[in-house]
């Protein structure tokens, strides 16, 4: 993973965690840590990676990610284009842990 600031990210309900680089999309940081979140486009349009931000702050690498105003208000984010600005807790039930296979 690249250098610089890192934030601790926990994914519920599994409790699995990883360290996310502040300048990398959460999807990429998770993958580098051996955790696979569902994804397809990786550019914020398909919404396959959508999950809920339970706590913390993110910013986006694109101006308007493919979320409705209602989804944003409900706490949903797109990890493929979201970068952490603090420690995070995410809710995602479709997580694959590649670390368990080794």
pLDDT per position as a tens digit, 49-70: 999 999 999 999 998 778 999 9
What confidence score (pLDDT) does residue 2 get? 47
| Poorest-pLDDT segment among 65-69, 73-77, 88-92 | 65-69
In a domain, 102, yes or no: no
How many distinct structural domains can be found in the chain? 1
For residue 63, is it within any domain?
A: yes
Question: What is the overall mean pLDDT for the chain?
Answer: 90
Sign of the CA dihedral with 73 first, then 75, 76, and 82 last: positive
- Residue 58, in any domain of the structure: yes
Stated pTM of the model: 0.87
Task: Calculate mean pLDDT across residues 25-35.
Answer: 95
Query: Which residue range forms the structural domain that includes residue 88?
Result: 6-96
The C-alpha atoms of residue 56 and residue 21 are separated, in whole angstroms, by 14
- CATH number for the domain that contains residue 80: 3.10.20.30
- Helices assigned H by DSSP within the chain: 26-32, 69-73
Return the bridge partners of 91, or none: 12, 52
Instruction: For residue 56, tell me if it sits in a domain.
Output: yes
Average pLDDT estimate for 1-12: 83
Residue 101 maps to a domain: no
Residue 1 lies in a domain: no
């Amino acid at each position: 993973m690249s250098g610089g600031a890192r934030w601790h990210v926990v994914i519920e309900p599994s409790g699995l965690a990883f360290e996310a680089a502040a300048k990398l999309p959460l999807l990429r940081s998770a993958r580098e840590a051996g955790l696979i979140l569902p994804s397809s486009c990786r550019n914020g349009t398909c919404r396959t990676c959508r999950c809920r931000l339970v706590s913390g702050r993110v910013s986006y690498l694109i101006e308007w990610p493919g979320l409705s105003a209602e989804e944003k208000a409900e706490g949903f984010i797109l990890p493929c284009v979201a970068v952490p600005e603090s420690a995070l807790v995410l809710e995602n039930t479709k997580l694959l842990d590649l670390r368990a296979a080794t």
